[in-house]
Structure 1
């Protein structure tokens, strides 16, 4: 992943994090654009979009009929979960095509909700590892690359941890583990030989 793409995501994620309240676990989500090579995905850019979770009829139905019954009433909270607006998804796809890139997958933030959320959520520690909901969505979208950014604030400093995941194997049981990818961040500084 190019460091500039990561910096774009982290800047937005930190801004969203600052707005989180115990009632509103604000998400931060973006699409990954880049190229797929023989054994490597190269993320060069990210594309943000709007969360259509409460405005798109298909999203409302998916959360009402599948997500909430499967993953619990916490997902009734309209700030929990993400559904990329279809217009933004199309815009990102066209932008990637124009740049000679592919849409590779997604990146999203897991805040330290176990510290910020309501007391009922304090026992559910988030990290850069996929939650059952993440595994479900990775399996549904089938995007080859999914990055989770765990973000926490301690005092006045932010800390983050990243991990990259493939979707669970196609014919695996619901809730199957996602294979982890090695994640490397490419810096722009040159190394002298």
Structure 2
């Protein structure tokens, strides 16, 4: 992953994090654009879009009939989880095509909800590992790479950790995601 793409996402994620309240676990989500070459996925850019979770009829139906019954009433909160607006997905796809890139997957934030969420949800500790909901979503999108960025604030500083995940194998629905090696291209060129 290019550092510029990661920096763009982190800037947005920190901005959203600062608006989170115990009642509103605001998500941060972006699409990953890049290329695939000999088994390596190279993320060069991110593309943001609007959350259509409460406005898209398919999203509302998926949440009411599948997500909430399967993953619990916490997902009734309209601020939890992401459903990218189909117009923004199309726009990102066209932008990727114009740049000679592919849509490779997604990146989203997991905040330190066990510290900043409501007291009744503080037993559930998020990290850069997928939740059961993430496994479900990654399996449904089947994008080759999905990155989770765990973001926490300690004192006045933000810290993050990342992990990349391939969707569950199509032949094994319900199986866990597979962790992928993740490297971030650094800014420095010293010694090259």
Range of TM-score over shorter length: over 0.9
With normalisation by structure 1, the TM-score equals 0.98
Cross-structure match for 1:179: 178
How many angstroms does 1:139 deviate by? Answer: 0.2
| 1:34 Cα deviation after fit | 0.2
Distance 2:187 2:129 in 1: 27
Helix, strand or coil at the partner of 1:109 = strand
The aligned residue for residue 91 of structure 2 is 91
Task: Tell me the matched-pair count.
Answer: 192
Number of the residue aligned with 2:26: 26
1:90 match: secondary structure: helix
Secondary structure of the structure 1 residue equivalent to 2:63: helix
1:31-70 matched pairs, under 5 angstroms: 31-70=31-70
Deviations 1:69-117 (A, max 9, x none): 0000000000001000000000000000000000000000000011111
Q: Which residue is equivalent to 1:75? A: 75
Structure 1 gap ranges (5+): none
Quote the RMSD (CA, aligned, Å): 0.7
Residue 9 (str. 1) matches residue 9 (str. 2): yes
Which digits, 9 at most, give the CA deviation of each residue in 1:25-83, with x for residues without a partner?
Answer: 00000000000111210000000000000000110000000000000000000000100
Deviation, structure 1 residue 167: 0.1
Runs of 4+ that moved beyond 6 A:
none
- Structure 2 residue runs of 5 or longer lacking an equivalent are none
CA distance in structure 1 between the partners assigned to 2:186 and 2:96 by the alignment: 22
